[in-house]
Amino acid sequence: MVKKVMVILLLFFAPLLFAHGIKVTVEKKSPFVIINASYHGSKALAHARVTVVFETGKKEFQKGNTDKNGNFCFYPDRVGQWMVTVDDLLGHRKRKEILIDNEFLNPIPKENVVKPADKEEEDKREVEIKPPFHTNEMCCYLLKIVLGVVLILIITFILHRWKKRHET
């Protein structure tokens, strides 16, 4: 009975297994930089504190909060290395470096091109809806768990052998 309860609990909570740690994605859409912060497993990091600094150690450029979907946007005004820190004020913090180049600040305007009708159809078909927690990320997360467990067991084995040898 106890085993059944434990298995049910584990199955129920298994999808949440990958739901922790902060993930920050950066999207550069000249002239704006859009940050999306979430917990691993797709839950948006809403109302987290975001600090933007131009080059480490310099004065804060911008400070704000992510919106309810975990999004934050800022407008860099110079070329260089920008640092964005996302903090949920519960001890979880992630720092991301963003390189802004001249091409981003001064994009070359695209010429107006009339797309042929079949190209427009092709563009519509190419729109894909990514699952919130991409399969590749889940596999990577699983591999990391396996790696951690294997490392712990290897250390245990080495320690056990060393202790046994010392006793004999």
Partner 1 sequence: MHIADGILPVEVSIAADVVAVGLVYAGGRKLETEEIPRMGIFAAALFIVSLIHFPIGATSIHLGLYGLAGLLFGLRSIPIIFVNLLFQSLIFQHGGLLSVGINTLTMGTGALAAWGVWKSFKFYKQIKSFLCGFLGILIPAVLISVIFIMSNYGKGMAFIVSIYIPAAVIEGFLTMVIFNYFNKVRPEILSRSNSRNNPR
| Binding of partner 1 by 96 (CB under 8 A) | no
| Binding of partner 1 by 46 (CB under 8 A) | yes
| Binding of partner 1 by 107 (CB under 8 A) | no
| Binding of partner 1 by 99 (CB under 8 A) | no
Q: How far apart are CA 23 and CA 41, in angstroms?
A: 9
Residue 66, class by beta-carbon neighbours within 10 Å (0-12 exposed, 13-18 middle, 19+ buried)?
buried
Nearer to partner 1, 2 or 113 (CB): 2
The sign of the CA dihedral 139, 145, 148, 149 is negative
The two tokens of residue 115 are 């797309």
| Total residues belonging to the chain | 168
The sign of the CA dihedral 128, 95, 140, 88 is negative
Count of beta carbons in the 10 Å neighbourhood of residue 82: 22
| Binding of partner 1 by 26 (CB under 8 A) | no
Kindly identify the residues of this chain, within the stretch 110-139, that bind partner 1 according to CB under 8 A: none
Nearer to partner 1, 17 or 98 (CB): 17
Q: Binding partner 1 by CB under 8 A: which of 8, 31, 47, 101?
A: 47
Footprint on this chain of partner 1 (rule: CB under 8 A) = 2-3, 5-6, 9, 13, 16-21, 39, 41, 43, 45-47, 85, 87-95, 144-145, 147-149, 151-153, 155-157, 159-160, 163-164, 167
